[in-house]
Amino acid sequence: MPSTAPTNDDHRAAPVPDSGDLTEELAEDLTPEELAAAWAAEGPPPAGPVANLGASLVVLALGVLGVVVSIGLGTGDATNPDAGTWPLAVSVLICALALAQLIVGRRGGADGERFTRYSVITVVGFLTLIGMVVLVPLIGFEVPSLALCLIWMKFLGGESWRSALLYSVIVVAAFYAIFIAALGTSIPHLI
């Protein structure tokens, strides 16, 4: 009696029993190229060369600002680095990447997306992060971190209230355990 088990020569998947839980989507096997095309069709339109130029110039300006501030902090040397050494290295890398984007992105590459109403999520995330940075020296990191996690998980991530509260408390407790209790850093804190 011949075996019905798949062999190395048979690359087809074995039939799956009908469990009633399978959807029609599982029956449609999309190749990676077809899946990428479907995602591209659902996404926002490309930004175009003017938007890529503007984004590159903004990033370049931030990189140059970082270089200036880093030099103001003092860079030291390789054997005796100062406060501005690593910020200078990162800022130079940002400038190099912005220049590369200026050269490559001027053709309006397909990767950049136009701003849509969903772009506001990024602005809200950035503003809440700035709020946390302002509040940490004043009231410690626990309350601003809890608020940041809660806002990001509930309003930006779409989590339920229960999940957002639970995960926010866990994240803040983990940060406290790592940075305050274990490492003894000098981050401002309440407890």
CB burial readout 2-24, b (16+ within 10 A) else e: eeeeeeeeeeeeeeeeeeeeeee
Q: State what percent of residues in the chain have pLDDT above 70.
A: 82
d(CA 98, CA 53): 10
Bridge partners (DSSP) listed for residue 46: 113
What pTM value is reported for the model? 0.56
Q: Residue 16 above 90 pLDDT?
A: no
Taking the domains of the chain in order of start, what are their residue ranges? Answer: 49-107, 117-182
**What's the N-to-C CA distance of the chain in angstroms?**
74
Q: Which of 47-51, 55-59, 184-188 has the lowest mean pLDDT?
A: 47-51
Q: In DSSP terms, which residues pair with 113 in a beta bridge?
A: 46
